[in-house]
A = this chain, B = another copy of it.
Amino acid sequence: MTQARRGTLGSARGRSGFSRRGFLRAVGISGGASTMFAAMGALELAPTAEAAAAPPYRAPRASDFRLTGRSAASVVVLGGGVAGLVSAYELGKAGYDCTILEPRGRTGGRNFTARAGTRQSELHGYSQTARFAEGQYMNCGAARLAQWMVTVDYCRELGVPIEVFTNYNADAYIYNEKSGMTPGRPVRYRTAEADTYGYVGELLAKASDQGALDKQLTAADRERLLAFLERWGRIGAKADGFAYRGSTRRGFGVWPGAAGTPGIELSPVPSVSEVFASGVGRYFSFNLNYNQAMVMFQPVGGMDQLPKALTRAIGPRRVRLGCQATSVTELAHGVRVAYQDGTGQERVVDADYCIAAMPPHLLAGLPHNLGSAVQRALTSIAPASAGKIGLEYRSRWWETDHRIYGGITETDLDLSHIWHPSYDFNGERGVMIGYYNTGSRADRYGTMSPKAREERAVALGSRIYGRKYRTELASSFSVSWQYVPHLEGAWHRLPGGSPDAPVLRPLTEPSGRVLFAGDWLSYTDGWQHGAILSARKAVTALHARALKHEHRSTPAERGAVHGSADQDGGE
């Protein structure tokens, strides 16, 4: 992930040392900019001449070939994840003859939704079948969209309805056991925020009043600052030392009701030392991040509605499931990909171009003739671990008993995050995400059996939620992405943390007939947004070449598929 960078504002250089002009030229290739430029006019940043001049993404069209006298080429796409699907979908708009080779039994890649009957084996041999009730599901991988992401546009274009993903909930819990919280006594976000902002307000008001900021602030600034702090922190008057003493924002033990029931506020209010020692504030940044701030979204009915819609739009006959590439060979005027089909038979597909949209560390393991610079680039990218467990419950006790409708509980346990479902509120059953963790925590859970993962998730979660976390459990399903065949990772560690690292240039600016696409070639690794924009970039480059290059032009010559005894396709 490439967030959390300290800005270099006012500078004309982006994070990778790109010049503004050079960068904006690149925008035209990678696309996704048109909407943003349209919005910029209404924002603080007026569009510069350079920005306005950068062309938005434009999908290939069949009519593009008219002047060239050529027709759309054939393309073999390696991997039916989101990057591969979008590549074929976009190329299909201009009539390209695309064939997707996908080793799994489904498209979508890390966009993977488990429902009743979903099976998943992991590389160490653990095999699971989801036993969720009808209508229940978990998004095992990709699970949320920010509204600025291009993914939202694909949902619109493909008619996939979206609904809010509850990335923040004031009533969700924070549970920091290492900071002294004890079982059954988590703190709600609303309480933690009220106390933290209250004390920040009190301290800053005091400091300002004592003259500590007279160098930084004018008298007018100080007055406005104080007005802000009084309202935002709910602090007392100057005569009272601006003291924070709690407020209704903390929440109630008994909520305000009818006459006779004014409510009982939660008490006691912890001291300033207690609040900062509790470590609750470390979670407040999350909802401020550019890629996580509410409102976030999810497709209605499961994240896989998007790859399903893409697959339908591409045409299922173009998607060969259970087909694993075994070698990639660039020819003089085309590409040959050997693969093993679902029956274990060796086959070959020949095409004018190839878009390699499979995990880079797995692509690196295939025999290919793309050169050592490509191989060096592929091996410079390391996969990262992440895992989730879905805990299906017979009742939605977190809604009825805890009054938590959606949102994320944060912990300092090795569970990391616990998610409340964002669908079917007030329903009969529901699937909680019992852990969503990454790095060494995910490595640890990954080596455990599915049963052991469930055991640990339930044992730790019970400390926060109590008895029903165990007694209401109906079933579970867990995924450890580093052990999922054909994917073997959740996202990536890029060299220098950037897809524009020089070593990756053979992938981002490929010279031959094999192009590359994936979230790992974007600034939003781990997000479908990056996979999609990377695919658009590859599609744009491929189309530009197809309009210039020779390629076989008759359908009869294109997209030939051969048995292993008949590997004579190509040019």
Contacts and interface: CB of A to CB of B under 8 A. Distances in A.
A264 B20 contact: yes
A213 interface: yes
16 contacts: A7-B269, A31-B258, A36-B252, A39-B401, A40-B253, A43-B185, A47-B253, A147-B403, A148-B252, A166-B294, A190-B293, A203-B213, A221-B276, A224-B277, A249-B290, A259-B521
Contacts of A126: none
Interface stretch (A91-99, A281-289, A328-336): A281-289
Contacts of A277: 220-221, 224
B170 A295 contact: yes
Contact of A207 (B40, B207, B406): B207
Interface stretch (A240-248, A307-315, A339-347, A440-448): A240-248
Contacts of A37: 254
A70 interface: no
A466 B6 contact: no
A533 interface: yes
A247 B228 CA distance: 22
Contacts of A204: 200, 203-204, 207
8 nearest CB pairs, A to B: A26-B260, A170-B293, A212-B212, A256-B523, A207-B207, A30-B258, A259-B499, A164-B164
A352 interface: no
A2 B256 contact: yes
Interface in A520-563: 521-524, 529-530, 533-534, 536-537
A135 to B, nearest CB: 13
A258 B499 contact: yes
Contact of A147 (B4, B147, B404, B507): B404
A522 B9 contact: no
Contacts of A294: 166, 168-170, 294
A505 B212 CA distance: 52
B245 A186 contact: no
A156 interface: yes
Nearest to A4: B248
Contact of A259 (B218, B403, B500): B500
Total identical chains: 2
B26 A401 contact: no
Interface string A6-33: 1101100011101010011011011111
A interface, size bucket = 35 or more
Interface in A162-196: 162-164, 166, 168-171, 184-188, 190-191, 193-194, 196
A522 B276 contact: no
The interface centre, meaning the residue of A33, A294, A523 with most chain B CB atoms within 10 A of its CB, is: A294
A103 B97 CA distance: 66
Contacts of A288: 170, 190, 193-194, 197, 232, 249
A134 interface: no
Contact of A246 (B4, B9, B38, B163): B9
A372 interface: no
Interface in A453-479: 464-466
A464 B208 CA distance: 34
Interface string A227-242: 1100110101000000
A7 B234 CA distance: 9
Given A257-B533, A533-B261, A162 B426 contact: yes
Nearest to A33: B254
Contacts of A47: 253
A36 B254 contact: yes
A353 interface: no
Contacts of A39: 401-403
A235 to B, nearest CB: 9
A279 B228 CA distance: 8
A79 B144 CA distance: 44
B276 A3 contact: no
A373 interface: no
Given A204-B204, A248-B3, A536-B258, A35 B400 contact: yes
B23 A261 contact: yes
A251 interface: yes
Interface string A269-283: 100110011010110
A221 to B, nearest CB: 5
Interface in A120-177: 147-150, 152, 155-156, 161-164, 166, 168-171
